[in-house]
Amino acid sequence: MQYKLIHTEGPEFSRIIAGAWRWHTVSQETVSRLIHTSLDEGITTFDHADIYGDHSNEEIFGNVIRQSSSLREKMQLVSKCGIKFKSVKRPTTQVKHYDTSKSHILWSAENSLKMLGTDHLDLLLIHRPDPLLNPTEVAEAFTQLKDQGKVLHFGASNFTPGQFRMLQHYLSFPLVTNQIEISLSRVAPFFNGDLDVLQEHEASAMAWSPLGGGKLMIGDREWFGKAAKYNATYGQLSLAWLLKHHAIFPVIGTTQPDRIIESSKSLEIDLDRQDWFEMLQWVQGEEVP
């Protein structure tokens, strides 16, 4: 497995990240297998959010850590906050909305620590851009959590380049990532400024849905030759295409341990630059200008 700084000031993450957003759909035993398989394959970074699994995924994951506290030293934990929706677990919420107030960020971070069974998060993200976001409040919350050692690094998720720059302006330390949708079926971030602004700030992208919601694990006739050339599955080839870019960390969302093993092998593929552009041509339907 490859490891790399997601920002010039840290942290160092595994190049492929395990996304736990659907892990509430499997048994506690399977979650344990997913964690151990990921670690065995060198996938040491795990992506969470406070709302995943109707606010249950962090606790399910944390149960494994509580059974074996030494696991925490082998991994990096990412979580997100800022989304609220109606739930029996959150009875005061009547409508889905965003809350990036200082008080909610602090409460959510503390709750994530409790659920995950850890004393710190390696990275905390604002889950969605909030039209009522007050950057001064966000900066105060982030600074307090950082000073207390409860969160080591901070970032954004689904922010536009302008929103990322705006929030960074209010912070005395760097936002290290923006988690955005990138895949062969969504190539816009290569051209709309998403990746440009991250590199401007010496940061990287965490790519959610890197396999296009599973569509890119199937492929079509055009893929046959390339898959054979690299002795790879369509999914591995799709991940290798993203990994060719030095500032992209794919977040895989599988609930199957075998898929984790398969995905980790994509790091062994040294995709030729011409093949990369040919694959881009397939999805765009035309040559680059």
Kindly list the catalytic residues.
Answer: 52
Residue 125 tokens, joined: 């993200």
Give me the residue label for tokens 């409040």: 137
Q: How far apart are CA 217 and CA 59, in angstroms?
A: 30
Amino acid present at 277: F
| Residue 101 CB coordination number (10 Å) | 17
Which token pair is 282?
């397939």
* CA distances for 89 relative to 94, 96, 203, 213, angstroms: 12, 14, 35, 28
Tell how strand 248-252 and strand 154-157 pair up: unpaired
- In order, the DSSP letters of 170-191 are T-SS-EEEEEEE-BTTB-GGGT
What is the distance between the alpha carbons of residues 237 and 166, in angstroms, rounded to a whole number? 35
Tokens for 217? 């694990």
What is the three-class DSSP state of 4?
strand
Name the helix (H) or strand (E) containing 124.
Answer: strand 123-126
- The CA distance from 156 to 163, in Å, is 9
- Are 151 and 120 in contact by the 8 Å Cβ rule? The answer is yes
Q: Is 272 helix (H, G, I), strand (E, B) or coil?
A: coil
Q: Residue 169 to residues 88, 135, 162, 163, 174: CA-CA distances in angstroms?
A: 37, 9, 11, 10, 9
